[in-house]
Amino acid sequence: MTTNSLKTVLLMSLLTILFILGGAAIGGRGGMMIAFIIALGMNFFSYWYSDKIVLKMYKATEVSEQEAPGLYAIVHRLTQKGGLPMPRLYVIDNENPNAFATGRNPENSAVAVTTGIVRMLDDDELEGVIAHELAHIYGRDILIGTIAATMAGAVMLLADWARWSFIFGGMNGDEEDNPLGAAGAIVAMIVAPIAAMLVQMAVSRSREYQADARGAALCGKPQALASALRKISKGAQEAPMREGNAATAHMFIMNPFSARKAMNLFSTHPPVEERVKRLEDMAR
């Protein structure tokens, strides 16, 4: 198991513990189970239909081998090398240089690239980016992200319920359901959602490092992927996306919505400098 895989396991375990402890303090056993079931239902729908939803959201157009021979050749070569099924290919008409992969499993997957990234990168750099996205598919990161979102979403849902309960006087700190009492519930109501969000973002950052490493190994060109990340970072700051949903930012190879660098703790992506450094270390 690689360092990043171990880190993901530890983070997911931490998120589970946070849900159990924080959920019990906020909503008791009954509330915890109800919130988990609701969050699971919401994310189950997202898991099965997220590819259709996000592709439609960004007006992605499916392209064939005849329509995009160069892009198709890169993807076909990498999937053959990695022993992966051929994903559906989509192009998004947007100057923001970016790409993402989606789909519930390798057999039902899609890779989308913007027109901006195709124009900006050379063939080797584009191959590195595609390899990164295929690594997300190979690593089943959509499933991992859905599980993390389910746990975090349930904690946040419980916190919302707790706030309304306090407003309307419906929370009495029952000892059987919540041994910490009302004071413990108040603390958990504030701390648990923030902690859950931070852990969920840390899972996302860990998977980005993993996809960088696996993608670089797949294409055999870590320097090309490092060069692509530098260009994408600069291009994304110069031409941030104006349309779309910030909740989908974690899907892209780099956050497409803001030209400002977010604090690492609250970011869905690792710092570009650190990603580039790791890839250059791989090359050496």
Active site residues: 133
* Number of other CB atoms surrounding residue 233 within 10 Å: 20
For residue 62, what is the enclosing H or E element?
Answer: strand 61-62
**φ, ψ dihedrals at 244, nearest 5°:** 125, -175
By the 8 A CB rule, do 70 and 117 touch? no
Task: Give the single-character DSSP code of 240.
Answer: -
Partnered with residue 113 across adjacent β-strands are 91, 99
Distance CA 243, CA 34 (A): 34
**φ, ψ dihedrals at 88, nearest 5°:** -75, 145
Evaluated on CA atoms 108, 79, 74, 131, the torsion sign reads positive
